[in-house]
Structure 1
Amino acid sequence: MVSFVIPGRPVPKQRPRAGKNGNIYTPKKSRVYEETVGWAGKQVFKNPYDGPVSLQVKVYLAEPGGDLDNYIKSIQDGLNSIAWRDDRQVTRLKAGLFVRPGVKERVEVMIQRL
């Protein structure tokens, strides 16, 4: 099992947007957070896992924010090609959202091969 912490306020995955030219893109705030997630993952993963994995995510917020499933999507997308080759490999998921005033905002991640 591998565990690590993604420091700072988590960012829920935002819906894709259409640019003026009609191209679809991921909003900058989501893209930057996914890069932060990837950086944290690179500190503990040398190579991505093959095969099914279990993902456990604990999201800590000082005040209410987005939906838990959108936080999870940011984490999964940020760890593609780092913790696993594709987030379709996540076949078991356990997640929690904890809102407590004054808490140090972060995400705790645990990943295990199945």
Structure 2
Amino acid sequence: MSVTVVRVMSVSTGQKLECGDEDSAHVWVRVAAWSPRRAFLTGAAPFALAAACPPEELTGRSFIADLDLDRPPANDDTAGERLEWPGLTLAPKIPEQWGAGLAPPEGPPRMVAPVGRLLPAGGNAADVDRVRLLADALAPGSADRKAFVIPGVPASKARPRFTKDGRPYKTDKDEEAEKATAWAIRRVFPRPWTGNLALGCVFFRPDRQRIDVDNMIKHVCDAGNKVGWIDDEQITAVYGVAELDAANPRTLVVVTRHVSSLDRSEKASPRRAPRPRGKGGRS
């Protein structure tokens, strides 16, 4: 799932759609996943297609875009940039509690939630809202974040098991579950992140079986070692939520940069050991 949120701020009419002769426009958009205040000028055609509305009705609409967050484009052109938006789809409607926009000048919006609840209730249509609220709670102001969904029943780290001689081991079931989660994380992280990180998880269970939230978080932490991060000691902020969704069990994962006085910036990618050399200096 992509959670790169863009919002159409304004529309300049009088252009033509590339795919036809209808009146088109250029639009200013705000890319919330890069920076709450970073705007770009782009063609309106993909937005009009995703929203199924005329370009002049785009103002104020919100979208999810499939963008490469690791390489945001530069903004050297003062006249704006023409960007491509692959995989663009219309975002779920934002509840009225969010206010006028995804990221108004005075700062990111805040949802008015009942006492005792951080995230909105409901099905997976609310996942975009959950991602933003969870990331803002973990690391306020951080725009460097990744979010994804692991489909299926959330796994839980089992209690330690030991051989007769006292050595710890994992069952085949635990090994398979951890590998599956690691592959899901690998699809989002081309290489492990370094430094301090914050991790948020929402576990949508299919039933009311008693499963400890901390064990489900530990499963994600272990699966992400050397995949999403070098070591889970980099995670200096954690938030876990257990929810019920019998029709669509899944795990919603948010990872963002985190600032802590307990600095983990020394955590860098492990270097390969030098190959042994034979006689005469040859390897």
Give the Cα separation in 2 of the matches to 1:28 and 1:83. 23
Aligned partner of residue 148 in structure 2, secondary structure: strand
Structure 1 residue aligned with 2:150: 6
Give the Cα separation in 2 of the matches to 1:38 and 1:97. 21
Structure 2 residue aligned with 1:16: 160
TM-score by length of 2: 0.38
Pairwise CA distance, 1:16: 1.9
Structure 1 residue aligned with 2:214: 69
Pairwise CA distance, 1:27: 2.0
Determine which structure has the larger strand proportion and give its number. 1
Question: Which residue of 168, 182, 196 maps to 1:38?
Answer: 182
Give the Cα separation in 1 of the matches to 2:166 and 2:237. 36
Aligned partner of residue 255 in structure 2, secondary structure: strand
Provide the identity percentage.
33
Paired residues in the alignment total: 113
Question: Which residue of 177, 183, 201 maps to 1:57?
Answer: 201
Aligned-residue Cα RMSD (Å) equals: 1.4
> Larger Cα Rg: Structure 1 or Structure 2?
2
Aligned partner of residue 252 in structure 2, secondary structure: strand
Structure 1 residue aligned with 2:239: 94
Structure 2 residue aligned with 1:81: 226
Amino acid at match of 2:179: E
Give the Cα separation in 2 of the matches to 1:75 and 1:45. 14
Structure 1 residue aligned with 2:254: 110
CA contact (8 A) 1:57 1:108 kept: yes
Amino acid at match of 2:219: S
- More relative contact order, 1 or 2 (CA 8 Å, 6+ apart): 1
Determine which structure has the larger helix proportion and give its number. 1
Give the Cα separation in 2 of the matches to 1:103 and 1:73. 25
Give the Cα separation in 2 of the matches to 1:20 and 1:64. 34
Amino acid at match of 1:6: I
Give the Cα separation in 2 of the matches to 1:22 and 1:52. 33
Give the Cα separation in 2 of the matches to 1:24 and 1:110. 30
What stretches of structure 1 move > 6 A for 4+ residues in a row?
Answer: none
Pairwise CA distance, 1:18: 1.9
Give the Cα separation in 2 of the matches to 1:6 and 1:35. 12
Unaligned runs of 5+ in 2: 1-144, 259-283
Amino acid at match of 2:235: V
